[in-house]
Amino acid sequence: MTLQQLTYLVTVAECGNITEAAEQLFISQPSLSNAIHNLEKEMGVTAFVRSNKGVVVTREGEELLSYARMLLEQADIMKEHFGNEEKRVPKFSVSCQHYSFAVNAFVDVINQYNVEKYSFILRETQTGEIIDDVAQGKSELGILYLSEHNEDVLLKLLKKNELIFEELFVANPHVFISKEHPLAKKESLTIEDLRPYPYLVFEQGERNSFYFSEEFLSVLDFPKNIQVRDRATLFNLAIGLNGFTVSSGVLDQKLNGENIIARPLEMNCKMRIGMVRRKNMLLSRYAKAYIEAIKSLGTEFSGFFS
């Protein structure tokens, strides 16, 4: 097994086609097919099912790909740390719940490494996909929260996928509403205050249970519920329908405008917001910078945290 073979494997999976992957890698199609075949033989797996339309990754191929991505990522980090001054294109990917501070931190990292070329990925996605992305090596880090309601289930899932959770800060739950909302003048809000209004939540797909919910109140029953897929839609509905959602309270008006405000929720619970990463893996300088950026935002918004 070589790093070159692993690169070939990942490229074929991403292209979904041997011919296209060979063109991208600047090698002949027979050479690429032979390299993949030798890797499959050495590992004792069938990574792809071939057809006239291309290739499809098998279940054992997905597992092999997750290790391949991890090894290639670690090799890049080692080269960056121990190698010469050869210029390398910065690469970093993070999967996160729909937090504005996660976007703020991403912006800070890009500004810090303001170079001519870089390849960064920010995935605002469902909770289950965050765990999958990190486990499969698609993202170096994941950002999500734990509470007394979901941590038993999520920590077991993380352990099963050989992932760990590291707490970054603890937040008091806050309600996000429009600045024109009938409740906007109140300094803090209760559950009963919120019942007449639409509760806006992020849809979680097949894993749509409260354990995977991004919203802190999903264990409670509200008469009006609207599921959305992105933060912009949620904010638009908060403005148009006097809807609300519940999150950490960390909201930067520079990126999100002044139409959405946060009000403390009168509830004796905490949100442990942290990062998910693979065990015993070196973090890239960009991942470390991202973590520090989030911690800095934690200091800046210290009034929201315990």
Q: Do 261 and 113 reside in the same domain of the chain?
A: no
Between the two ends of the chain, the Cα-to-Cα distance in Å is 49
266: CATH = 3.40.190.10
- The range of the structural domain enclosing residue 41 comes to 3-82
Q: What band does 281 get if pLDDT is binned at 50, 70 and 90?
A: confident
Q: Do 242 and 265 reside in the same domain of the chain?
A: yes
pLDDT > 90? residue 238: yes
Instruction: Provide the pLDDT for residue 303.
Output: 45
What are the DSSP calls for 8-56, one per residue? Answer: HHHHHHHHT-HHHHHHHHTS-HHHHHHHHHHHHHHHT---EEEETTEEE
| pLDDT tens-digit map of 191-213 | 999 999 999 999 887 776 778 88
Q: What band does 299 get if pLDDT is binned at 50, 70 and 90?
A: low
- What is the pTM assigned to this prediction? 0.74
Q: Do 154 and 182 reside in the same domain of the chain?
A: no
| pLDDT tens-digit map of 97-143 | 988 889 999 999 999 887 778 889 999 999 999 999 999 888 999 99
Provide the number of structural domains found in the chain: 3
Q: Do 122 and 69 reside in the same domain of the chain?
A: no
Q: Do 265 and 201 reside in the same domain of the chain?
A: yes
Q: Do 223 and 77 reside in the same domain of the chain?
A: no
β-strand 119-124 against 91-96: which pairing, if any? parallel
Q: Do 198 and 244 reside in the same domain of the chain?
A: yes
| pLDDT tens-digit map of 8-44 | 898 998 888 888 888 888 888 888 888 888 888 888 8
Q: Do 114 and 146 reside in the same domain of the chain?
A: yes
| Owner of token pair 């619970």 | 269
Instruction: Provide the pLDDT for residue 102.
Output: 92
| pLDDT tens-digit map of 75-104 | 877 777 666 545 667 789 999 998 888 999
Instruction: Provide the pLDDT for residue 256.
Output: 63
Q: Do 261 and 281 reside in the same domain of the chain?
A: no
